[in-house]
Amino acid sequence: MARLDTPLVLASGQRLPNRIAKAAMEEFLAVEGQLPGPGMVELYRRWAQGAAGLMITGHVMVDRRALADPSDVVLENGTPLKPFHEWARAAQSGDGRIWLQINHPGRVMTSDMPGPVRSASDVAVDVGRYSRLYPRPEPMTAEQIQDTVRRFASTARMAETAGFDGVQIHAAHGYLISQFLSPLTNRRQDRWGGNLDNRARLLLDIVAAVRAEVGERFAVGVKLNTADFQRGGFGADEAARVVAMLAELPVDLVELSGGSLESLATHGYAADGSTLAREAYFLDTAAAIIADSTVPIMLTGGIRRRSVAEDALARGTAVVGMATALAVDPGLPRRWLHGEDATAQVTLPRWRDKALAAAAAQATVRCRLAGLGRRDGAGRRAHPILALIAERLHRRSALRDYRRWLSGQQPAAPTE
């Protein structure tokens, strides 16, 4: 049985020094030009000293017209690479590897964002009374789908040039690739819709295109939902089949998570009525996938105790991922590797409005990340309501900056 300090050699030949990973979190730390700034660099330098064997960045968008938030970072043809090189170098100041998570939001764009909103089909986001914030998307044309594939590949190539050790393709949490995978949001009747082979085509084409653009020692991973946790959505049986498809390409590591904007499973809730554990949310759902997979599996979701991480490894998980716990205690991996039974104390708001509670929890984490990104000290714990207000004010300013920057750009750069 692997231990937390057991190295892992991936299919690409890349070696992870241990089995602990920092999973992706949206940092909201983009500066002018949608670039990673000093705060991002300092944040990852701090995490690098925490000794996680793998760090995966928050999502970086492959198309400047399609952002989930105006504070998102963009990497596409024409983007200056120096800030990304500084980001990668800071993250590599420890012993771990750094992968850039690359993503396209699809329909997860609010109505105040200036870019076109597109998805697999014209199915609007349904989050109850907050649904009005999200416009109905346009179904993507074949040409737009193919352009998106090329954009992922181009972004991966640029990430390699900037010095990152790999990329993780985001196919979970209800973003574009996840929208193609789910029968709830993919109602197409062409070669990208219908049966699972067709719904998985976008993901498989992106993985193949990325792999063809980067060197053989550059790692390629995928983040995939174990389930959407919505009735009639993408489920564990289909996830197992997609993992088997990915193993044939191959990929280096598949991270299993779950949920979406409509199902707050990443916060321990499930919209389909199923029960999620307080820690290692997705372990039970993922157990059969892990047992049958020929590709290493990384499991993320609520892990914050060493005993829970060790149990996940004992049940076949290759890498355990943590997100919020490492915002609370960036040094937690090193403490575990030194034998401490340290625990990250994560307190989530228990409000009646679960969507608002989830937003406040995320705002609290991002407030903490902003503090960790300052050279002068640790991140502070903000009250959820104050954090939520501060984030809304920050978003208003960031949206003005993003609109100004986007309007000053040339027409969207062609992909190669």
Residue 411's pLDDT is what? 67
Residue 272's pLDDT is what? 41
Residue 320's pLDDT is what? 97
Question: By C-alpha distance, which of 368, 302, 313 is closest to 23?
Answer: 302
**What is the topology classification, in CATH, of domain 8-346?**
TIM Barrel (3.20.20)
For the chain, domain boundaries: 8-346
Question: By C-alpha distance, which of 296, 238, 243 is closest to 12?
Answer: 296
Query: Tell me, what amino acid is at 415?
Result: T
User: What is the rounded CA–CA span in Å between residue 51 and residue 95?
Assistant: 7
Residue 376's pLDDT is what? 63
In the structure encoding, which two tokens stand for residue 5, read together?
């300090």
Asked whether 23 and 255 are in contact (CB, 8 A), the reply is: yes
Residue 279's pLDDT is what? 63
Which residues are CB-neighbours of 197 under 8 A, at least 6 positions away? none
User: What is the rounded CA–CA span in Å between residue 325 and residue 331?
Assistant: 10
User: What is the rounded CA–CA span in Å between residue 45 and residue 10?
Assistant: 24
pLDDT digits (tens, 9 = 90+) for 373-382: 987 655 566 7
Q: What is the pTM of this model?
A: 0.94
pLDDT digits (tens, 9 = 90+) for 158-171: 999 999 999 999 99
Residue ranges in the chain whose pLDDT is less than 70: 263-281, 376-381, 411-416
Q: Which three-class secondary structure state does DSSP give residue 140? A: coil
Residue 233's pLDDT is what? 84
User: What is the rounded CA–CA span in Å between residue 270 and residue 407?
Assistant: 40
Residue 245's pLDDT is what? 98
In the structure encoding, which two tokens stand for residue 224, read together?
């995939």
Residue with tokens 């990325």: 210
